[in-house]
Structure 1
């Protein structure tokens, strides 16, 4: 679903409607009962309610632990960002603000990238991810560019 929502401009309510349209049997009954108690209009709220129902506490705790200990390691920045986003939905209580989300992502980056970003104190997650990708490209280019520079001299 998330993949579809990245390319189609659905509103928050449309995302919920689209996702719940596919429910059948027990899931459909659960959803109708849930709607009687609460009008769920945002995707984030839907995911929270859905995961509380269909993911055991133990599984959520495992996902939270993976998120808390997540580091870039051998992943590319894009792979790290994807894993970060995937796990973050299970632990919104760990990163309740945009700035905290940005700092957590930054903290898990490899040292050569993190050192260059920390001084900037970028306020949003999107800005940190964008700058991390650009920084990695610059680091890579400078590594490949150095030998060429020496050959000219």
Structure 2
């Protein structure tokens, strides 16, 4: 949440061309709850530092509200991330959320693609290993297409099974009531 907030302000400052000397003031105006209390007590000491600015505030906020043990937990979660029973979209979203904690593990595009593919279910992993997508986005699009096709195929199989059951069941039932042997 905090990282999203920081990225949002980075974008706002860039778009509105906010002067550097006003960025801290604007950002701290929007702080809430614990972060607002923290800032209220830290602001006087921060203002004593002539070099203090938006980048310094971001670092201090992340240091305070995103401690090292949380980063380690997220890194571990990323290491063991698997699609299992979630959709490709959910897996991709979780992958992106956690990948930032493992920049050492997946520093370049190819490593990210390999890690993403390795966490997919077996069928998707098999298909993407053959197609060898070069970017994470291509891997995601291939996996989502495969997932869609698998769902269509599953629906067709279920429809066939239901139609088979409705066409065969009356015949089997009539044979069992008459005592006739099927030929």
Could you say which structure has the greater relative contact order, defined with CA pairs below 8 angstroms and 6 or more residues apart? 1
The two structures have a TM-score, normalised by structure 1, of 0.69
The two structures have a TM-score, normalised by structure 2, of 0.59
Question: Which has the greater radius of gyration?
Answer: 2
What's the offset of the Cα at 1:111? 0.4
What's the offset of the Cα at 1:49? 7.4
Structure 2: 5+ residue stretches without partners: 16-22, 164-183
Structure (1/2) with the larger helix percentage: 2
Cα gap change, 1:20 to 1:100, in 2 (>3 Å): farther
Tell me the residue number matched to 2:153: 142
Structure 1: 5+ residue stretches without partners: 41-45
Measure, in 1, the Cα distance between the counterparts of 2:60 and 2:130: 37
Query: Is residue 125 of structure 1 aligned with residue 136 of structure 2?
Result: yes
- Name segments (4+ residues, structure 1) moved above 3 Å: 10-14, 17-21, 23-35, 37-40, 48-53, 146-151
Cα gap change, 1:67 to 1:147, in 2 (>3 Å): closer
Aligned residues: 141
Measure, in 2, the Cα distance between the counterparts of 1:63 and 1:128: 23
What's the offset of the Cα at 1:36? 2.7
